[in-house]
Structure 1
């Protein structure tokens, strides 16, 4: 549906209620000071309602069913039409889930399918070396998020819950990102000062490990991020050389000789290169 169709409708007075409300109890895994942005929450309610009903609905009926202020509901619907995730029928004056929403779902499913293809490769490495293999994705400019993990079927493994988030410079993966970021020394020192390590670590030692990661293509965190845990990570880069994912192995600290650690590091680096053709 053309965007001009929706914008031709009469604009009504927007709701005067606050745009955000504190809701720490609604974010069990998030910050305690989290807020809910009401228009965003209402937009998601509308999209969910339209996909569940499967039939075109008038704005007044949607507002009444979802208990949303009618003028706010109308303005949200108009925005969703403009973003091509909701369709508007000017004759019937009804709204329905749009093709743009289907495309978003299709992209999400495609990413899930890619992760399914990556899982056997991660599982093979986990089984071969007796480690837990994790996959992290860059999230914005300052965070990474754990996407999935594969554990050794026979050896003791370390549980890593999906959805865990870390500062982008933290851990073994952080050394990889630090080697790519175009920071001055002053900027890097400032970012490093915000990190909280379980073992004391100087900025100079961190920089040496960043430089080592740059040379060999994989990085290690020997118990600085988590007590008793050693992690080895390698990048998964797009064609432009940007790190999109990192693949990491975690194991009990001190149970492997240096040459075994080096062999695992090379294996993780090779896995990262193989995952580039699967994930990107």
Structure 2
């Protein structure tokens, strides 16, 4: 019986989390298929602990401040690199390739981690390195967190340097690439940053539904001519979804479709 009551309490909490304007006792009891006395008893217990609050005017119940305190304590304890590390290691093992993780600062990609399929001190040389966002799959992934207007403004007075013959050199083409990345869930760098190197990246989201980082897999085309781009993309998306989940993000749809 106690377990059943606990289940009902969680059901009520989840209901109130979706109803930001709150619900009255009758609405809660009806939606939960409970009699009013049972619903009132559970709400009273939640209210006493601060997980539910009641507005006297209209007698509406809403989630209480205790949830904010609990959520803040949990979210503040999350550190991106700590949460991502085992997933980056797994991704490197799955693909047999080098994995990067980066954030965006002042419009540039800033590398914060690197995992290779073998132990190497070279991984630390990349930490803190900056690259232009328009020339990398990491950058295109990070740019999906900006609106089209914000991207245009970002590159208003910023030059496009042709790193290779394949590098994007104008904001119009960049916007098309970012839009494609947003729609399919992953970005592609086809020798745009380094000749002979292919990269696939995808964004990481946090509990605010904001893009906070990105992950990519890179490989040499000549050394891996048969590596399946779509398979790598699917693995990268799967990895970034798991990291996002650990960072508190909840996917609203299943719209990510590696192509």
TM tier relative to shorter chain: 0.5 to 0.7
Unaligned runs of 5+ in 1: 1-106
CA distance in 1, matches of 2:213, 2:116: 18
**Map of 2:29 onto structure 1:** none
Do the aligned partners of residues 254 and 192 (structure 1) sit closer, same or farther apart at CA in structure 2, a change above 3 Å counting?
farther
Match of 1:123 among 86, 89, 108: 89
Higher relative contact order (CA 8 A, sep 6+): 2
Q: 1:187 aligns with which of 140, 143, 152?
A: 152
Pairwise CA distance, 1:238: 1.7
Q: What is residue 151 of structure 1 aligned with on the other side?
A: 116
Deviation at residue 165 of structure 1 after TM alignment? 1.9
Counterparts of 1:197-276 in structure 2 under 5 Å? 197-200=162-165, 201-203=168-170, 204-256=172-224, 260-276=228-244
In 2, Cα distance between the equivalents of 1:126 and 1:144? Answer: 20
Structure 1 pair 185–276 and aligned structure 2 pair: CA distance change class (3 A): closer
TM-score when scaled to structure 2? 0.55
SS at match of 2:144: helix
Unpaired runs of at least 5, structure 2:
1-73, 249-259
Alpha-carbon separation, structure 1, partners of 2:223 and 2:173: 23
Q: Are 1:196 and 2:155 an aligned pair?
A: no
Change (3 A) 1:186 1:262: closer
Q: Work out the CA distance in 2 between the residues paired with 1:241 and 1:195.
A: 29
Q: CA RMSD in A?
A: 3.5
Following the alignment from structure 1 to structure 2, what is the Cα–Cα distance between the partners of residues 233 and 224? 13
